[in-house]
Structure 1
Amino acid sequence: MIARPNRRPQMKGDALVRFENVGLRYGLGPEVLKDLSFGIEPHSFQFLTGPSGAGKTSLLKLLFLSLRATRGIVTVFDHDTSRLSKDELSVLRRRIGIVFQDFRLLDHLTTYENVALPLRVLGKEEASYRSEVIDLLEWVGLGERIDAYPPILSGGEKQRAAIARAVIVRPEMLLADEPTGNVDPPLAKRLLRLFVELNRTGTAVLIATHDLSLLDQVEARQLVIREGSLTVTDPHHAEAGGW
């Protein structure tokens, strides 16, 4: 088993994210998420699992503030998101790292430039981060692809570049959607170790995955979605529930 992630006592008032009776529907369709109540605490580590179509991607979009809940209260970094403008939501999103399934790399930038982009957006000088970006690319196995452009990268290489871009700024919360879906088992284990190490430095991590073997490698809380409803299980607590 990979080294255990950080553990802190769970307190209802001590959360990066709080969902209270949250529901989500698209247009006039049925609810895809129903009565979700849970919290994501600072420094915590959790997996999000469930069958295809259960609502995992919709939940990630709510957490990343790219969707608004249809009902209920979503609080992120102590802000009620229903009261925020698009610009204010954008500012909060800068504190969240995300790994998308479709990677979203910029084809006109090299691997190095894609990974360094969040640091450039923050106004940092290249001299202050170049060695860190190169070291991270070496760690994820892209040391020889630093100057390559996304169109010539394999799916697994794009996945690793997207992960490196998400973690380079050490966000307060990291959301990863199937981050090991395009790599072989040894590399998947290596990437999972990267997430655990990032968590140990203070980042709350949530990994959405179909790969249940990952759950055996890290002792962490599990958020399980079935038919739009959420069950929370924690190996450190006998009870299950939102908090």
Structure 2
Amino acid sequence: MIRFENVGLRYGMGPEVLRDISFDLPQRSFQFLSGPSGAGKTTLLRLLFLSLKPTRGLVSIFGKDRLSLSRTELPSLRRRIGVVFQDFRLLDHMSTFDNVALPLRVRGREESSYRADVIELLKWVGLGERMHAPPPVLSGGEKQRAAIARALIEQPDILLADEPTGNVDPPLARRLLRLFIEMNRLGTAVVIATHDQHLMEQVDARRMILSGGRLDIHD
């Protein structure tokens, strides 16, 4: 679904943050993205989400060249990608339920068609009792789980998650990992950026390791 060929990225006139990145992201694949702080993991996720353009090289997503995409094409492609960034991007004036349901509402679906699915997913991530609470009263871990539920509610083709278990305790981290594995089993390609070695040891998955702006892949 995604291919990077000799991709490089720099901000302004500074040095390249990513250099000669090449990999394929197959359908139904599961991979961890790791590396030291400042290695460029979040930058790579933003390239995958089409919120950044590469400085050089080829990024192909769903058979389309990133550099040839028009602004009108980007929203429909991004809707096929679920994303959980560390800033969560929840809307403070809406309830947790409404934040998770927002992608479905934007598509024009009636609440009666998705209400049960949203409630079930919120219960799975441990927010069944917090669905009516707005984000300002949620803890950091609760906001993180709400963002995960929102990313998964449409069963995206690709899930990108930046440290999705960083603010939760180990039992809940394992529960969330099971959710990611189940989504992968149903057809979603999963990319999880994490420092958690214990988490990575629980899944037989490809590891992509960023260091010094370069990517090493261990299948």
Q: TM-score, normalised by structure 1?
A: 0.89
Q: What's the counterpart of residue 110 of structure 2?
A: 125
Q: Output one character per residue of 1:80-123: Cα deviation in whole Å (capped at 9) or x when no partner.
A: 01011122122211110000101110000000000000110111
Amino acid of the residue matched to residue 82 of structure 1? L
Secondary structure of 1:98's match?
strand
Unmatched segments (≥5 aa) in structure 1: 1-15, 235-243
Which of 85, 95, 102 pairs up with 2:70?
85
Given the alignment of the two structures, is residue 178 of structure 1 paired with residue 154 of structure 2, yes or no? no
Q: Separation in 2 of the partners of 1:52 and 1:41?
A: 26
Amino acid of the residue matched to residue 125 of structure 2? V
Given the alignment of the two structures, is residue 206 of structure 1 paired with residue 188 of structure 2, yes or no? no
Secondary structure of 1:143's match?
coil
Amino acid of the residue matched to residue 156 of structure 1? G
Deviates more, 1:85-94 or 1:95-104: 85-94
Shift >3 Å, 4+ stretches:
none
Count matched residues. 219
Amino acid of the residue matched to residue 163 of structure 1? I
Residue 125 of structure 1, CA deviation: 1.1
Residue pairs, 1:71-150, within 5 angstroms:
71-150=56-135
Q: Separation in 1 of the partners of 2:75 and 2:213?
A: 26
Secondary structure of 2:117's match?
helix
What is the alpha-carbon root mean square deviation over aligned residues? Answer: 0.6
Given the alignment of the two structures, is residue 60 of structure 1 paired with residue 45 of structure 2, yes or no? yes
Q: What's the counterpart of residue 39 of structure 1?
A: 24
Conserved? CA contact 1:21–1:36, under 8 Å: yes
Residue 22 of structure 1, CA deviation: 0.4
Amino acid of the residue matched to residue 31 of structure 1? E
Secondary structure of 2:73's match?
helix
Q: Separation in 2 of the partners of 1:200 and 1:191?
A: 14
Q: What's the counterpart of residue 240 of structure 1?
A: none
Q: What's the counterpart of residue 7 of structure 2?
A: 22
Q: Separation in 2 of the partners of 1:160 and 1:144?
A: 13
Unmatched segments (≥5 aa) in structure 2: none
Conserved? CA contact 1:81–1:89, under 8 Å: no
